[in-house]
C-alpha cells in the first residue's frame, strides 16, 4: 500500500513517514500543495495524509477540488484545529478522517491502514490462499497454522500478491506498491526478496513466476 504524506514540518514529517514505513507502507513525501498535486498526477495512492494548514494554503480547499474532479483517494487531515466545527468542515470538504495534533503515532498508523483498505476496494481482514492466512490487521502470516516470520517488505509484497490471488502481478506494480521514492530498489532486489519469501512459505510452492510478466500467488502454477 502506498501513501502520500503532505506535511511542511520537517521533524513531524520525518517521524510520521518513519512510523508508516515501519508498518510496511510505502511513503512518498511532499511539503506543499504544488508538490502534492504533482505526486497525485503521477502516482495512484491508497491514502493521502494532509497537514491541513500548509504555507501554500488550506489542504481542505484542495481536497474539495479533488472531489469535484472525481478523485476518490481516501484523505486524512492532520491539524491543530480541534473544534467540532473544524472537524465537520473537514469532512464536508472531502476528508475521510480527521486527527488533531498532538496525536499518538500508533493511532495515526492504524487510521492510515484502515483508509488504505478502502481504496479501491475494501480488502478482507484475513486473506487466504491455499493454506496460507494473511492477517492484514495484525500483520501476521501463517501456513497450515504455523506462524511465519517475515520482514515488513516481504509482508507488503505477499499482501499485494494475495489481494490479487490467482492473477499475475507485474514487477513494476509490485515495486510501485511496496517501495517508495526514498527507497527505490536496485535491479534484482525484488527477485531476491521473492526467493526469500518462497523459502519461508515452504512447500508445496504457492509463489510462481509468470515469465515476461511478474509473479502470481496461487494454489497451482499457471498451465
Split at pLDDT 50, 70, 90, the class of 122 is very low
Question: What average pLDDT does this structure show over 54-79?
Answer: 86
| Domains along the sequence of the chain with CATH | 2-116 (3.40.50.2300), 126-217 (1.10.10.10)
Rounded to the nearest integer, the mean pLDDT of the chain is: 85
Is residue 165 scored above 60 in pLDDT?
Answer: yes
pLDDT tens for residues 89-111?
A: 888 888 999 988 888 988 999 99
B/e letters for 15-28, b = 16+ CB within 10 Å, e = fewer, are: ebbebbbebbbbbb
pLDDT score of 156: 87
Nearest in space to 152 (alpha carbons), one of 4, 27, 23, 46: 23
Q: Which residues contact 119 (CB under 8 A, 6 or more apart)?
A: 45, 46, 47, 72, 73, 74
Distance CA 141, CA 191 (A): 20
Does an H or E element contain 97, and which?
strand 97-100
Sheet holding 146-148, edge to edge: 126-129, 132-135, 140-143, 146-148
- Specify the range with the lowest mean pLDDT, choosing from 67-71, 109-113, 196-200, 203-207: 67-71
Q: Stretch 142-152: mean pLDDT, rounded?
A: 91
* Range scoring the smallest mean pLDDT among 9-18, 21-30, 37-46, 197-206: 37-46
Predicted confidence band of residue 34 (pLDDT cuts 50, 70, 90): very high
Q: Is the pTM of this model over 0.75?
A: no
Segment 43-52, tens digit of pLDDT: 778 899 999 8
The pLDDT, as a whole number, for residue 181 is 59
Amino acid at each position: 500500500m502506498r501513501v502520500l504524506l503532505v506535511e511542511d514540518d520537517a521533524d513531524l514529517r520525518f517521524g510520521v513517514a518513519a512510523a508508516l514505513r515501519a508498518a510496511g507502507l510505502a511513503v512518498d513525501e511532499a511539503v506543499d500543495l504544488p508538490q502534492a498535486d504533482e505526486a497525485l498526477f503521477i502516482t495512484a495512492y491508497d491514502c493521502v495524509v494532509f497537514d491541513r494548514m500548509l504555507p501554500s494554503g488550506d489542504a481542505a480547499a484542495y481536497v474539495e477540488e479533488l472531489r469535484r474532479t472525481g478523485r476518490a483517494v481516501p484523505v486524512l487531515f492532520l491539524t491543530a484545529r480541534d473544534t467540532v466545527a473544524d472537524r465537520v468542515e473537514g469532512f464536508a470538504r472531502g476528508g475521510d478522517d480527521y486527527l488533531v495534533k498532538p496525536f499518538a503515532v500508533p493511532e495515526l498508523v492504524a487510521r492510515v491502514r484502515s483508509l488504505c483498505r478502502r481504496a479501491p476496494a475494501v480488502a478482507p481482514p484475513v486473506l487466504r490462499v491455499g493454506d496460507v492466512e494473511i492477517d492484514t490487521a495484525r500483520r501476521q502470516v501463517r501456513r497450515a497454522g504455523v506462524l511465519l516470520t517475515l520482514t515488513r517488505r516481504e509482508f507488503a509484497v505477499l499482501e499485494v500478491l494475495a489481494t490479487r490471488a490467482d492473477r499475475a502481478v507485474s514487477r513494476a506494480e509490485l515495486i510501485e506498491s511496496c517501495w517508495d521514492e526514498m527507497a527505490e530498489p536496485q535491479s534484482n532486489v525484488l527477485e531476491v526478496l521473492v526467493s526469500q519469501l518462497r523459502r519461508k512459505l515452504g512447500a508445496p510452492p504457492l509463489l510462481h513466476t509468470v515469465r515476461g510478466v511478474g509473479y502470481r500467488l496461487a494454489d497451482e502454477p499457471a498451465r
